[in-house]
Structures are given as structure tokens and as C-alpha cells.
């Protein structure tokens, strides 16, 4: 029998317990006192109206959400593909009367597959954006389908999985936390050797009392990577948003989502209707 491997993480134990507490609070919240939203997709059906597809994204017959067009390209040829999937229902993010923000937990699993002989390019991002979000112009390739490269500020918050070091990136493949820009506010190394063809699991947690956004990434071999950043979502985003997953590639990489869940709550205000600002 092969021995089980344990991997160190620099994630403080106290913070980990705090995040676990957030998850239990979210899952156990009394929905009579909050505006709650929850979904759990383990297998999707083509034509599912709860998911809005943009660009090249499609739901395959096996229930997998394919974000990019992975049709093989001739040797030496590159071609951009961009695909996004959004949860159709808008998500209440903060209350304009009380100023209170929602806490949330989202988890998804994905497999990235590289065609033989091709370099890994571009990447995947979980993003939160205004409800009218569409694929921006000039957002192919390194702009991950969320940023118009000709606009200085693009309104979104995201956690990116960047497979190529561009001029504005650290000199490594990385996981990054993005606020209105793909110049990440914080990054940690992303190991391509752990990703290629393997199932990677991600949990992203926003703790509104501390304004802390944390991503916990688990490679298929059990290694855990974490990244955390303080961000007050009320100062960045409108009070109602859309959440989604976006991926781009110029070398026909397949970005396949195998599961996706989300749970949030926002303390309700009597008589208050959440709407965009």
C-alpha cells in the first residue's frame, strides 16, 4: 500500500478554522432572516437555463461544462478561443440600506487538457461582475475574457489561474486575486505539472465581517495551496452582481468544469429591494 502523503501549507490554523466557521454559518443560516442563494451542479444538461453561456462555452452531452473550443489546430497555428458561463440568477452582494455585505462560499472542480506538442497558454478565472456583464471587446488570450485591454479599469473581482507569464504578470504561472485589473493584488505559484489532465478542486470564500477573500486550491495529489486578500466588495461592485467562470486559450487547451456550487447569504432589510446601482 502506498503511504499517504501530507503536504505543508502556509495557511494559518486560526484562519482555517475561521473559514470553516464561515462555511458552517452559510450552510446553516435560517433563510427567513436572510436573502439566501444556493446552487450545486454536479452534472449539467445542454440547454439548462440556469447557466448563461457566452462565447465558445458549451455544455457537453456528458454533463461537463467546456469553456473553450479545444478542436485541434494545425501545427504552428494559433487561434483564440474565449468562453464564459454565468449563473443566470443575479446574486445579492450587499444591502444599500444597511451597508451589510453577503458572505459566500463557492466551489468548483476543473480539468485542463493540453494538446500534444502545445504550450499551455492563457487561463481560467472565477469572476464577480455587474449584472449586465458580457465578454468584453479585446479580451482574448491573456485578458481571460474579463478585461478589455483598451480600458484602464474593468469592474470585476476575480480569482485567476494564469498559465502564461505576460509582461504585467509575475515571472511564473500563478493563482492571483484580481480587483478591476489582471495585475493581481496577490499571487502564489501555480504548478502546471499538477494541473495537466488532473482534476483540481477550488473553494473560494468571502468573509464579509473581515472583508477577506480566500481561495483554497487542492491538486489531485492532495497538495493544498491557499491565497488570501482583504477586499471590501461594497467599494468595488454594485449591490447585485453576476458570478461566472471564464477561460481563454490560443493553443486549443480544453478548460472543462466538472462541478460548481455556490452558497451565500445577505441579512435582509424589511421593505428593501436589492437592485443595481
- pLDDT of the residue at 91: 96
Write down the pTM of the prediction. 0.82
Question: Within the chain, which residues score under 50 in pLDDT?
Answer: 1-18, 20-22, 24-25, 27-33, 270-277
The distance between the two most distant Cα atoms of the chain, rounded to a whole number of Å, is: 61
Q: What is the pLDDT of residue 4?
A: 28
The pLDDT of residue 166 is: 65
81 membership: H or E segment, kind and range: strand 81-87
pLDDT tens digits for range 146-198: 988 888 779 999 999 988 666 665 677 889 999 999 889 899 988 777 888 89
Q: What are the residue ranges spanned by the domains of the chain? A: 13-28+41-266
Give the sign of the dihedral formed by CA 97, CA 100, CA 101, CA 102: negative
**Euclidean distance between the first and the last CA atom of the chain, given in angstroms as a whole number:** 58
* pLDDT recorded at residue 208: 94
DSSP category for residue 198: S
Per CATH, the architecture of 13-28+41-266 is what? Sandwich (2.60)
Average pLDDT, the chain: 82
Give the containing element (helix H, strand E) for 202.
strand 199-207
pLDDT score at 164 = 67
> What DSSP assignment string belongs to 7-70?
------HHHHHHHHHHHHHHHH--TTSEEEEEEEESS--TT-TTEEEEET-EE-TTS-EE-S--
Provide the pLDDT for residue 21: 46
Residue 168, judged by CB atoms within 10 A of its CB (0-12, 13-18, 19+), counts as exposed
Q: What is the Cα–Cα distance from 77 to 68, expressed in whole angstroms?
A: 16
Q: Cβ contacts of residue 176 below 8 Å, gap of 6+?
A: 159, 160, 162, 182, 184, 185, 186, 187, 188, 227
> Is the sign of the CA dihedral 70, 71, 75, 76 positive or negative?
negative
What tens digit of pLDDT does each residue of 121-157 get?
789 999 999 999 999 888 877 778 998 888 877 999 9
The pLDDT value recorded for residue 165 is: 60
The pLDDT value given to residue 168: 65
- What pLDDT is attached to residue 39? 96
CB distance 29 to 210 below 8 Å: no
Amino acid at each position: 500500500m502506498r503511504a499517504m502523503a501530507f503536504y505543508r501549507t502556509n495557511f494559518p490554523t486560526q484562519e482555517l478554522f475561521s473559514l470553516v466557521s464561515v462555511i458552517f454559518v452559510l450552510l446553516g443560516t435560517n433563510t427567513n432572516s436572510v436573502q439566501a442563494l444556493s446552487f450545486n451542479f454536479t452534472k449539467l444538461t445542454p440547454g439548462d437555463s440556469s447557466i448563461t453561456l457566452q462565447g465558445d462555452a458549451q455544455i457537453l452531452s456528458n454533463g461537463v461544462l467546456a469553456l473553450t473550443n479545444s478542436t485541434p489546430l494545425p501545427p504552428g497555428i494559433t487561434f483564440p478561443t474565449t468562453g464564459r458561463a454565468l449563473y443566470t440568477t443575479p446574486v445579492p452582494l450587499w444591502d444599500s440600506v444597511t451597508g451589510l455585505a453577503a458572505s459566500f462560499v463557492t466551489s468548483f472542480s476543473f480539468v485542463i487538457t493540453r494538446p500534444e506538442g502545445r504550450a499551455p497558454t492563457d487561463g481560467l478565472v472565477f469572476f464577480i461582475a455587474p449584472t449586465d456583464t458580457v465578454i468584453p471587446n479585446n479580451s482574448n488570450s491573456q485578458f481571460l475574457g474579463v478585461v478589455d485591454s483598451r480600458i484602464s479599469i474593468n469592474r470585476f473581482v476575480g480569482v485567476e489561474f494564469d498559465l502564461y507569464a505576460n509582461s504585467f504578470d509575475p515571472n511564473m504561472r500563478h493563482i492571483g486575486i484580481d480587483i478591476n485589473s489582471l495585475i493581481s493584488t496577490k499571487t502564489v505559484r501555480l504548478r502546471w505539472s499538477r494541473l495537466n489532465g488532473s482534476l483540481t478542486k477550488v473553494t473560494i470564500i468571502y468573509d464579509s465581517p473581515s472583508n477577506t477573500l480566500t481561495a483554497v486550491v487542492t491538486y489531485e495529489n492532495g497538495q493544498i495551496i491557499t491565497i488570501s486578500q482583504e477586499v471590501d466588495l461594497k467599494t468595488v461592485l454594485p449591490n447585485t452582481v453576476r458570478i461566472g467562470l471564464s477561460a481563454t486559450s490560443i493553443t486549443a487547451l480544453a478548460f472543462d468544469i466538472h462541478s460548481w456550487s455556490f452558497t451565500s447569504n445577505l441579512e435582509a432589510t424589511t421593505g428593501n429591494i436589492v437592485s443595481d446601482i
